[in-house]
Structure 1
Amino acid sequence: MAKVLYAVTMSLDGFIAGPAGDMQWMTPYLGPNPEVRDLIGQIGSLLVGRRTFDGDDPNKGRPGEGKAFGGGWDGPQYVVTHRPPESSSADLYFVDDFATALAQAKEAAGDKYVNVLGADIARQCLEAGELDEVLTCVAPVMLGDGTRLFDQPGGHTVKLERVSATEVPLATNLWFKVT
């Protein structure tokens, strides 16, 4: 049975995208990360928010631009949107309902992970009680503004159990189970 994982790179001050959705801040920190490299083979599908799908690419101008994990992963992607495009391509599905998209992504993933891309989709997974794990690669930079890892106006505590903490050359990986 598929598990739902929010795997994301975050600045030390809690942002996953910079102002106006800028992802170029991340480019210097995309270096070797054995834990992420090993994870990629365990991902069976992606559940992606539309802003993330349409957003800036940290691999812009580099090989793998426009592809998940810089071209290191290939498989079905389920984009949650109320604005589906006229056409699509193989393994790319635009779904106008979160619950339907999540169910389809879980079915496609089989016994692998559904990897969540996008802060709002991760929040919706939490609210639905569907987020199993969080892997945060903390980059040694502070952005000061942008899209937060988790933003819940009015507050909402999410309890986590640490699975591992691993130092890699350009980040610190923190892996948690959602309890």
Structure 2
Amino acid sequence: MATMLYSATMSLDGFIAGPGGDMSWLTEYLGPNPDADGLVGDIGALLVGNRTFRGDDPNRGTPKEGAFGGAWSGPQIVLTHDVPAAPVPGVTFVTDLGAAVEAARAAAGDRYVNVLGADVAAQCLDAGLLDEIFVCVAPVMLGDGVRLFSRPGGARVRLERTGVSHVPHATNIRLRVLR
């Protein structure tokens, strides 16, 4: 069964996007990252939130547009309440978390389902479905925006660090979700 992995680049103060979902801050911190680049080949499917799917791509209009700087292609499952009328090639729109996870796992086979989007990742975590987290911490503080993870009321999520590495523009942290 596919492993559910949440991956993101975040600012030191915990934001994965700036105000309004702005991703332009990220371009300065993109560059060779052997851990992230190696992960791309292990991904079998993406489970993406609607805001992320329709949101700001820091590489829009360039050859690097798309997931992982355009390095990844394959099935995308988008969790949304607003299914578009016209089909989008390579994208399946699903309105229910359980059905979205099931579709993504089936598409991924024994590879990773990479979760993109803070809200979908939080839903997976709350449902006990998230297995791992890979975060690249960029040396910047944004001050506001979309948090990597936010849980009103502060319920604790236990994690086990499984790896740390450094590249010039980020510190990579791999974690396992403990249940």
Please indicate the TM-score interval, normalised by the length of the shorter structure.
over 0.9
1:55: which partner in 2? 55
Match of 1:111, SS? coil
For residue 71 of structure 1, report the CA deviation from its aligned partner.
Answer: 1.2
Match of 2:81, SS? coil
Identity percentage of aligned residues: 61
Deviation per residue, 1:20-62 (Å, 9 max, x gap) = 1100000111100000110000000000000111111111343
1:71 & 1:16 partners in 2: Cα distance? 18
Superposition RMSD in Å: 0.8
1:169 & 1:32 partners in 2: Cα distance? 9
Match of 1:177, SS? strand
User: Letter of the aligned partner of 1:126 in structure 2?
Assistant: L
Match of 1:135, SS? strand
Structure 1 runs, 4 residues or longer, greater than 3 Å off = none
2:127: which partner in 1? 128
Q: How many residues align?
A: 178
Match of 1:161, SS? strand
Q: Does 1:163 align with 2:151?
A: no
2:8: which partner in 1? 8
2:153: which partner in 1? 154
User: Letter of the aligned partner of 1:99 in structure 2?
Assistant: G
For residue 90 of structure 1, report the CA deviation from its aligned partner.
Answer: 2.8
1:31: which partner in 2? 31
2:140: which partner in 1? 141
User: Letter of the aligned partner of 1:151 in structure 2?
Assistant: S
Deviation per residue, 1:79-136 (Å, 9 max, x gap) = 0011111122332111111110111001110000000000000000001100000001
2:78: which partner in 1? 79
For residue 5 of structure 1, report the CA deviation from its aligned partner.
Answer: 0.2
1:107: which partner in 2? 106
For residue 141 of structure 1, report the CA deviation from its aligned partner.
Answer: 0.3
Note the residue ranges of structure 1 that are not aligned, 5 or more in a row.
none
2:60 & 2:80 partners in 1: Cα distance? 23
2:40: which partner in 1? 40
User: Letter of the aligned partner of 1:157 in structure 2?
Assistant: R
2:100 & 2:15 partners in 1: Cα distance? 25
1:91 & 1:109 partners in 2: Cα distance? 13
Match of 1:138, SS? strand
2:85 & 2:107 partners in 1: Cα distance? 23
Note the residue ranges of structure 2 that are not aligned, 5 or more in a row.
none
Match of 2:10, SS? strand
User: Letter of the aligned partner of 2:93 in structure 1?
Assistant: F
Q: Does 1:116 align with 2:130?
A: no
Match of 2:103, SS? helix
1:90 & 1:22 partners in 2: Cα distance? 25
